[in-house]
Structure 1
Amino acid sequence: MSQFNAVKNFSRRDVLKLFGATGGGLALGASGLAWSPAAMAQSAESRLNLFIAIGDDNKVYLTCHRSEMGQGIRTGIPQVLADELGASWEQVVVVQGLADKRYGSQNTDGSRSIRNGFDKMREMGAMARTMLEQAAAAKWQVKLSELTTRDGMVTHQASGKQAKFGDLAQAASQLALPDVSELKLKSPNQYTHIGASHSIVDMDDMLSGKAQYGHDVQLKNMLYASIVHPPVLGSDIESVDDSDARKVAGVVDIITMPVLTGAPMFQPLGGVAVIATNTWSAMQARKALKITWTASPNDSHDSEVYLASLLEKVTKPGKLVRQLGAPVTQWPADDTLSAQYTLPYLAHAPMETPVATASVTEQGCEVWASTQTPQRAQQVVAGALGLAEEQVKVNVTLLGGGFGRKSKPDYCAEAALLSKQLQKPVKVCWAREDDIQNGYLHAVSAQHYQAKLDKQGMPTAILQRTGFPSIGSTFQQGANYPAPWELDLGFVDVPLAIDSLRCEAVEAEAHTRIGWVRSVCNIQHGFGIGSFVDELAAKAGTDTPTMWKQLLGPVRQEQFSDQGFEYGNYGEDLSRHPVDIARYHGVIDAVQEAMNKHGKPKANQGWGFAVHRSFAAFVATAILVEVKDDRVAVLEAIGAIDAGTVVNPDRAKSQTEGAIMFGLSLALMGDIRFKNGQVQQSNFHDYPMLRLSQCPNIETIVIKSTAAPGGVGEPGVPPVAASLTNAIYAASGKRIRNLPVATHLKI
């Protein structure tokens, strides 16, 4: 068993009871969106809270306000807190935070938990350490500057006096919170937990089966619900014959759900809910329902026809979104290289399907959910029930995968609405078919690239267009153009140093719920630009890493000034998270060196390469494949990531490995198709995931850096698809521009 203490699910008031009303203890917090400790000091209750609590038992209770889905955030955030606090790792007990505005954002997506929280968590740790040291200085009548703190002890070296955190906690809790400007933060060479590969705190429970996921929640008198959702977005129930379904043993009731109106947002889809005393009965009874659905404006949606029209659109002028240099008006056929790239719809398909349990009483509602966004779940449930947000308590369980799907809490609202009607706790469990056919899909997309070449085959001008139904359509009807932030994701922000670069976007109407999937629009844009650079390299007779370096130009920090757009940079300041060409070179060089160690590929084998910046991190990927008898086998993969300061290198390696597997799964086999407005795939037999036998050997390289922390979970995905198809071209001469690979070769 690990020495690490088990994760505890304590509420803020639980911490108050443990360390406020019942004796010694120290609890600190950050106040809401402003992260202002001064504001927290305005009320005693607020002071006894949010991130750090120390009991007189010498345990250090550290709150993680983000959601754990295997990425290790319930380890990473405590590592940062513990480091500045000076706690011993064996002291630490992790507390899972509930939905609470005072944490600031709890949205666990966008690869931003550490990126956005690193400095604030350091401040919280340093604040607590300072208060403990102040308590010790007062107790021993010594100068604060003479004290040191390490491994859960405050020490006065001159006198040899020492005190455990627990012995000082009660006195420290009476002190005023230090001003942030007066805190002394550690320098990187003083870190003990930051940069250390701590095993994730949930590992023992995960391996032993004790870990509690959303599907594991059990409440007294709980009922189970399985919902038949409308097969086409916008359709409603015309008639229901539930007579046979009600005969299934265990069925309690059959309920028609509210109709979705307006933009989908995070509203429940509607449909028919079967309520039973167990999941099996609910799912069996739903098969016996006879439902007639009304017509929908999306009934005619055919993804094959739609993609063909989208492909035609991107070959024609679109809306200008970036212009570097003078636009080119003449594209001589002999000196122009052009190509189009497409991706189908893609599903998140986490191993644990969406699940939530809700209990509605006269006082309010309590929810237990595997959610990436507890605050958004709180808001959506409150809105559905007509309650104040403060009347909704959201407990966050472990997530069996998320990839962005579980940041959309429609399933939480479903459980709450059913509990309110039945006046009992209700667990809503989505079947795999529900998840694949009724989720929020990654958008189908098409891209067009063309380059004007000089006599050496080098591009002097590039024109690129992109088209895909926007995520904005999920929130606003008629949002048919990509939003600027979507275009920032690997399309307008590629820092090419050429004479002329023109970026355009075309209109695309949405016919289903469009959502963000791991790395979002970088999925298609990384494939497009990564593939086209490989084609440019082949045309010029050079290797792809060299072509990338030539296109990126001299080492600099690209500002995108005077190019007709304002770069969002994933919400980060460019001065803190610059688009740094030197860091592009760093990951390119690291992967090239690793490739060279493998030697020359054998017959029918080839390496593919791509590089991409996303979520303020830089990733280069190389993949080795073998193509024989129209069958492709992926043999090796190399991924190098520069994510700035890395809190837990083991997790950075693991996330990069996972991103490569995720990206391979999508590129090889990911394919959601619509016919008559309905998704044709339903389960893993026709929407397959990467299997162990298909997974290559993976080498990961984490670049050491003192730069500000960047993202880790998503940046490894974008260069994978292009690396794969570029490798197939190198091995076989077959250029794949339309994913998935399975439509061209046997897998």
Structure 2
Amino acid sequence: MIHEAQTMADLANPTVEAGPSALANVSRRAMLGGMGALVLALSWRDPARADDKKDEPKKYGADAMPHGWQDDPKVFVAIQPDGTVTVTCHRAEMGQGVRTSIAFVVADELEADWAKVKVAQAWGDEARFGNQDTDGSRSLRHFFPHLRHAGAAARAMLVQAAAKQWGVPAGEVKAENSVLTHAKSKRTLGYGEVAAAAAELPVPARESVVLKKPEAFRYIGKGKIGLIDNHDFTTGRAMYGIDTRLEGMLYALVARPPVFGGKVKSVDDSEAKKVAGVVKIFTIDAPEIPSEFQPIGGVAIIAKNTWAATKARDALKITWDDGPNAGYDSVAFRGELEKAARAPGKVVRDQGDVAGAMAKAKTKLEAEYFVPHLVQAPMEPPAATVRIKDGFCEVWACTQAPQATHDRLAKKLNLPADKVRVNVTLLGGGFGRKSKPDYVLEAALCSQAVDGAPVKLIWTREDDLHHGYYHTISVERLEAGLDDKGMPVAWLHRSAAPTIGSIFAPDPKHELPFELGMGLTNTPFAVPNIRLENPAADAHVRIGWFRSVSNIPHAFAIQSFVAELAHAAGRDPKEYLLALIGPDRVIDPTTIGDVWNYGEDPARYPIETARLRKVIEAAAKGIGWGRKMPKGTGLGIAGHYSFVTHTAVAAEVAVGPKGEVQVKRVDIAVDCGPQVNPERIRSQMEGAVVMGMGLALSAEITFKDGRAQQNNFDGYEITRIDAAPKEIHVHLLPNPDFNAPLGGVGEPGVPPVAPAIANAIFAATGRRIRQLPIRDQLSA
């Protein structure tokens, strides 16, 4: 079908200052301009995905899986008369390079000159663009074949238009580098010269579109293309949510309940009203628990500038009713989780006879591992600007979930769906926090409170750490019964952690299938008797997804325990891990308890132990596994399967005389299937290593009296540049078959980092790390 495409530049009011540069490199007016531009909207049906809307976890139940996901993802291709090609990106850019990767997949099949390619950002409209949630490491995993077809179909239409103009068979026309050539007559046409004519042609049927052969790729898999936004990034011209400027804009902050589930008991705003520039102060009602993505309540300050809003918020005198979580103490709660993990829990996988095998085992080992609350802490905190004018709500926000944002705004403001527009800016990091649009709803309520005037609401870093959606706290207890060769004949794992489901459903006690399927129920070890249990656990804070989600505690515990078993058996940790994985085999995750499998068809996305073995071997080879290490240094290794990708990390650490840990080198190996954009894969893996180091060494959120104790980056410590490894080596296992399924990239690199570091510390010092973060454990 053919219709008019819109871009981010067309969405902004003429008075909008979209930062130094807008996300769209071309406006609709310039795109169409009355000169006849080609605008192709290519649609398809994709039954390959299972429902993975994380905001509706009830659909993850075993009774609902697997079932086909049906939608009409659309890729827009526009060609201007001057030959400029604009690709509309339907996923949010938050540093992972998705705008570049989506554009160059389309451009490659289109045979476009990369120098003439631009990107426009899609607004929130799932009916038009397909699923837009940027999470789960699935942007290219799900859309790569469709992006290829979009580009190839556009190329076919251009070829057909040129052939018609020349009166020659389409088979004699060649498209290359934005030029159409008829070799026999030596005639050429630029893409822009036939765009209008091509636009009049019907879009070819999907099955008739001829894709390029991989050997003809110019961009896909080559790793030679930098970020399309790189100039804007490096010159400060890139527009993030926090950068939005509208004429007459006001600024807002919110004083939120310090305890989740709390509410305002009384407020004295007399001093706050005296602050020059204050426009309005009002109370946002606290939602019922579960709160889902709703604002958690509090007192909003709207002012003419952020300084006035800040001073006024500081001047508020609020008496809080702390509610049901007033006594939450994360240290004490760890004890509750430990108690739960030491007793039988809900069985989520039961293979063989664990109790019988454990009783007959020659030796038995057990260990408990702890991971604290974590918070995403993106460099750009949550920010949104909302204007409600003439019954139309328009938003500019750094959101990972524009459709969820759109739907909740429409409901909150009681507006028809077509009266809400969510414009997606660049995101200064996300890591899952910006999938939850509570901050956008707050901004909308503020705009509504001042008769629809544009209001920008920003969370401070303190707001972000005190009122976020936290990664769950967890205790992992593992027990193994070993035979006379030191190999396990029985394996028991109890995972106790509050569930993400607690923000959606009242008082859930157990983790959902998608959480259990992140490295627990799909444990791929060749152990004859395995029992996995999930004890009950209450939630006392908002639990949300965090990069890699439940893979973090599961990988830390399992891969650390494997190293402990290897030591008990007197064997090399790498060789023991490979022996535990066992012979090469293809495992259908649903046959061993994982009904979710990352929302993918298990026949297309099985666990392949050969691939897991190869990444472990690649990481070990890269770091020089087995070499003699100086005193106080050691090597550690870990492997993990997540987001349908196999990853392994080998780490070299040095531990100083005062217990200080230095990660000197990390080798990370990844098998994600065909590599669409190797440069971005390497960058993602490097970022995963640095983030994983922070989780291992320093990051944690603790609670006392229901209140988060960390205020800023001085308390919640992420990895700083002086602590980063001097060497990070990324090993990409080749897979040239672009018909094979793609794996995820954004999240799989994080889980193996912490256990690899912990195992390296044991090799260096003989001391086990069983709780994160490590901090000063080694100095005691």
In the superposition, the TM-score normalised over structure 2's length comes to: 0.91
Structure 2 equivalent of residue 41 of structure 1 = none
Equivalent position to 1:28, from 35, 40, 50: 40
Which range moved further: 643-652 or 171-180? 643-652
Structure 2 equivalent of residue 681 of structure 1 = 710
Q: 1:130 to 1:243 in 2, by over 3 A?
A: same
Q: Which runs of 5+ in 1 are unaligned?
A: 1-6, 37-46
**In 1, Cα distance between equivalents of 2:625 and 2:560:** 24
- Cα RMSD of the aligned pairs, angstroms, is 2.1
Equivalent position to 1:451, from 464, 475, 480: 480
Alignment of 1:721-736 (within 5 A): 721-736=754-769
Q: 1:334 to 1:456 in 2, by over 3 A?
A: closer
Structure 2 equivalent of residue 40 of structure 1 = none
For the Cα contact (< 8 Å) 1:256–1:273, is it kept in 2?
Answer: yes
**In 2, Cα distance between equivalents of 1:10 and 1:87:** 24
Q: Which runs of 5+ in 2 are unaligned?
A: 1-6, 13-23, 49-71
- Check if 1:322 corresponds to 2:349: yes
- Check if 1:254 corresponds to 2:284: no
Alignment of 1:379-528 (within 5 A): 379-423=407-451, 424-528=453-557
Q: 1:129 to 1:577 in 2, by over 3 A?
A: same
**In 1, Cα distance between equivalents of 2:499 and 2:31:** 48
Q: Secondary structure at the match of 1:414?
A: helix
Structure 2 equivalent of residue 367 of structure 1 = 395
- Check if 1:107 corresponds to 2:133: yes
For the Cα contact (< 8 Å) 1:108–1:373, is it kept in 2?
Answer: yes
Deviation digits for residues 8-27 of structure 1, max 9, x if unmatched?
A: 74559997655557231111
For the Cα contact (< 8 Å) 2:289–2:503, is it kept in 1?
Answer: no
For the Cα contact (< 8 Å) 2:689–2:749, is it kept in 1?
Answer: yes
- Check if 1:77 corresponds to 2:110: no
Deviation digits for residues 372-431 of structure 1, max 9, x if unmatched?
A: 111111111111111122211111111111100011010001111110110210000101
Deviation digits for residues 97-144 of structure 1, max 9, x if unmatched?
A: 111121111101111111111011111111111111111221222222
- Check if 1:116 corresponds to 2:142: yes
Letter aligned with residue 640 of structure 1:
A
Structure 2 equivalent of residue 4 of structure 1 = none
Q: Secondary structure at the match of 2:480?
A: strand
Structure 1 equivalent of residue 315 of structure 2 = 288
Structure 1 equivalent of residue 383 of structure 2 = 355
**In 2, Cα distance between equivalents of 1:597 and 1:522:** 25
**In 2, Cα distance between equivalents of 1:68 and 1:638:** 27
Q: 1:235 to 1:98 in 2, by over 3 A?
A: same
Letter aligned with residue 187 of structure 2:
K
Deviation digits for residues 307-345 of structure 1, max 9, x if unmatched?
A: 111111112111111123333335348511111111111
Which range moved further: 8-17 or 446-455? 8-17
Q: 1:305 to 1:117 in 2, by over 3 A?
A: same
Q: 1:33 to 1:665 in 2, by over 3 A?
A: farther
Deviation digits for residues 570-614 of structure 1, max 9, x if unmatched?
A: 112223322111211221121111121894221110011000111
Alignment of 1:200-279 (within 5 A): 200-279=227-306
Q: 1:623 to 1:518 in 2, by over 3 A?
A: same
In the superposition, the TM-score normalised over structure 1's length comes to: 0.94
Letter aligned with residue 147 of structure 2:
M
Cα shift at 1:739? 1.0
Q: 1:374 to 1:17 in 2, by over 3 A?
A: same
**In 1, Cα distance between equivalents of 2:633 and 2:370:** 25
Letter aligned with residue 176 of structure 2:
R
Q: Secondary structure at the match of 1:742?
A: coil
For the Cα contact (< 8 Å) 1:267–1:410, is it kept in 2?
Answer: yes
Letter aligned with residue 693 of structure 2:
L
Letter aligned with residue 386 of structure 1:
N
For the Cα contact (< 8 Å) 1:612–1:718, is it kept in 2?
Answer: yes
**In 2, Cα distance between equivalents of 1:313 and 1:8:** 51
For the Cα contact (< 8 Å) 2:566–2:576, is it kept in 1?
Answer: yes
Letter aligned with residue 685 of structure 1:
D
Cα shift at 1:561? 5.7
For the Cα contact (< 8 Å) 1:10–1:97, is it kept in 2?
Answer: no
Q: Secondary structure at the match of 2:358?
A: coil
For the Cα contact (< 8 Å) 2:589–2:597, is it kept in 1?
Answer: no
**In 2, Cα distance between equivalents of 1:129 and 1:10:** 26
For the Cα contact (< 8 Å) 1:11–1:97, is it kept in 2?
Answer: no
**In 1, Cα distance between equivalents of 2:600 and 2:619:** 27
**In 2, Cα distance between equivalents of 1:112 and 1:597:** 33
Structure 1 equivalent of residue 731 of structure 2 = 701
Q: 1:370 to 1:526 in 2, by over 3 A?
A: same
Q: Secondary structure at the match of 1:87?
A: coil
Structure 2 equivalent of residue 141 of structure 1 = 167
Which range moved further: 408-417 or 182-191? 182-191
Alignment of 1:519-558 (within 5 A): 519-558=548-587
Aligned residues: 729
Structure 2 equivalent of residue 305 of structure 1 = 332
Cα shift at 1:538? 1.1
**In 1, Cα distance between equivalents of 2:45 and 2:410:** 20
- Check if 1:738 corresponds to 2:771: yes
Cα shift at 1:191? 1.1
For the Cα contact (< 8 Å) 1:250–1:278, is it kept in 2?
Answer: yes
Letter aligned with residue 616 of structure 1:
V
Cα shift at 1:177? 1.0
Structure 2 equivalent of residue 194 of structure 1 = 220
Cα shift at 1:742? 0.8
For the Cα contact (< 8 Å) 1:641–1:702, is it kept in 2?
Answer: yes
Letter aligned with residue 734 of structure 2:
K
Structure 1 equivalent of residue 87 of structure 2 = 62
Letter aligned with residue 84 of structure 1:
E
Q: 1:168 to 1:746 in 2, by over 3 A?
A: farther
- Check if 1:643 corresponds to 2:655: no
Which range moved further: 252-261 or 405-414? 252-261
**In 2, Cα distance between equivalents of 1:737 and 1:56:** 63
**In 1, Cα distance between equivalents of 2:46 and 2:555:** 35
Cα shift at 1:214? 1.1
Deviation digits for residues 278-322 of structure 1, max 9, x if unmatched?
A: 112211221111100114111111111111111111121111111
Cα shift at 1:510? 0.7
Which range moved further: 567-576 or 341-350? 567-576
Q: 1:104 to 1:217 in 2, by over 3 A?
A: same
Which range moved further: 690-699 or 319-328? 319-328
For the Cα contact (< 8 Å) 2:357–2:489, is it kept in 1?
Answer: no
Letter aligned with residue 85 of structure 1:
L
Structure 2 equivalent of residue 617 of structure 1 = 645
Q: Secondary structure at the match of 2:640?
A: strand
**In 2, Cα distance between equivalents of 1:165 and 1:195:** 24
Which range moved further: 52-61 or 194-203? 194-203
For the Cα contact (< 8 Å) 1:519–1:718, is it kept in 2?
Answer: yes
Deviation digits for residues 251-304 of structure 1, max 9, x if unmatched?
A: 222111122123111101110111111112211221111100114111111111
For the Cα contact (< 8 Å) 1:32–1:104, is it kept in 2?
Answer: no
For the Cα contact (< 8 Å) 2:75–2:89, is it kept in 1?
Answer: no
Deviation digits for residues 554-579 of structure 1, max 9, x if unmatched?
A: 1121114644x353221122233221
Structure 2 equivalent of residue 717 of structure 1 = 750
Structure 2 equivalent of residue 170 of structure 1 = 196
**In 1, Cα distance between equivalents of 2:170 and 2:368:** 66
Cα shift at 1:717? 0.2
Q: 1:325 to 1:9 in 2, by over 3 A?
A: farther
